[in-house]
Amino acid sequence: MGLVARVLESRGIPTITLSLIPDLTRAVGTPRLAGLSYPFGRPLGRPHDSDGQRAVLRAMLDVLAQASGPGTYVELPFEWPESPARARNESKDLPPPPIVELMTKKPWLLPSLYTGRIPESAPAA
């Protein structure tokens, strides 16, 4: 997402990027970044929690308005109301993503995933 923000900024659109993994998003050189400790799939908060969602969006936009230069990073103070184990458990019945299935079947490909170097043997999509 940080890479997309960079393209928009270089074409004259100011951006604010929210991230649940700000160490990675920051490392790609994201123009304005707000970090948040919420579970994946629920970046604004719980379904139907309008007040909580609005507060997160408002906090993002405050970073947009107040950032003074490139590389601004602010950690948002919101805390997820459930334990990480409980949040993970809610999605336990889902099948793993295709890349995780592949790594389970062919663990010798893990170094490629770690380095982000896509193997030349990868099939056409």
Partner 1 sequence: MSIDSYRFLDFASRQVMKAWAGRQQPGVIPFTPLGKPLADCTVALVTTAGVARNDDRPFDQAGERRNPWWGDPSFREIPLGTTERDVRLYHLHIDPRFGEADLDVVLPMRRLADLADQRVVGKAARRHYSLMGFILDPDVLVGQTAPAIAARLHADGVDAAALVPA
Q: Identify residues 34-73 at the interface with partner 1 (CB under 8 A).
A: 35-48, 50, 53-54, 56-58, 60-61, 64-65, 69-71
Beta carbon nearer to partner 1, 69 or 108: 69
The answer to whether 31 touches 71, Cβ cutoff 8 Å, is yes
The answer to whether 5 touches 15, Cβ cutoff 8 Å, is yes
- In sequence order, what DSSP letters do the residues of 39-68 get, joined into one string? -TT-TT-STT-HHHHHHHHHHHHHHHHH--
**Least distance (Å) between residue 40 CB and partner 1:** 5
- Which residues have C-beta within 8 Å of that of residue 124, sequence separation ≥ 6? none
**Least distance (Å) between residue 88 CB and partner 1:** 6
Residue 102 CB neighbour total at 10 angstroms: 15
**Least distance (Å) between residue 34 CB and partner 1:** 9
Size of the site for partner 1 (CB under 8 A): 82
Beta carbon nearer to partner 1, 23 or 108: 23
Q: Taking CB under 8 A as the rule, does residue 81 contact partner 1?
A: no
